[in-house]
Amino acid sequence: MSGRRREVNHDIDSMMNDILDALDVIKDKMPNGEIKSIQDKIENIESAQEDMHEDLRQIKKQLLDPEDGIVVRVNKNTEFRKRKEESEKTFQNIIDEHKELMSWKSTVTKILWILFTAVAGILVSIVFKSV
């Protein structure tokens, strides 16, 4: 029996040595540091991807917000610009009419001065002829 026990112990020791040798081979072939580094990099990529996803949500909200989004502001700005261009045309028409009225007023004023001077001259000549 003791021979058999030695044989079993020897077989177990042999198997344990084989297992330890296999583990040493696995350790040598498996770059544990590199695997940890790769895992860390993958976790960083996942975290960055989640951050980018959240950033995209915020950007989308800023762009498409129906009350105060950028699209709404651009549309309001475009509408304001169109109204300004239309009012600018109207304003230019009013300025042209004002220039025409000022020209007419100047002409009428000159004519009235000429008439006033003529009437005053006639009155003065009548007064001096009668004397």
- Average confidence score pLDDT of the chain: 85
The dihedrals phi and psi of 65, each to the nearest 5 degrees, come to -60, 120
Asked whether the predicted pLDDT for residue 93 surpasses 90, the reply is yes
Place of tokens 């105060």: 68
Tokens coding 55: 């950033």
Give the list of residues 6+ apart from residue 51 with CB closer than 8 angstroms, or none: none
Asked whether the predicted pLDDT for residue 24 surpasses 90, the reply is no
Tokens coding 119: 């009437």
- pTM over the 0.85 mark: no
Distances (CA, A) of 86 to 1, 77, 79, 117: 114, 14, 11, 47
Beta-sheet strands, E only, within 14-131: none
Asked whether the predicted pLDDT for residue 99 surpasses 90, the reply is yes
Rounded distance between C-alpha atoms, residue 58 and residue 101, angstroms: 58
Place of tokens 């001065």: 113
Rounded distance between C-alpha atoms, residue 120 and residue 92, angstroms: 42
pLDDT confidence of residue 102:
96
3-state secondary structure of 65: coil
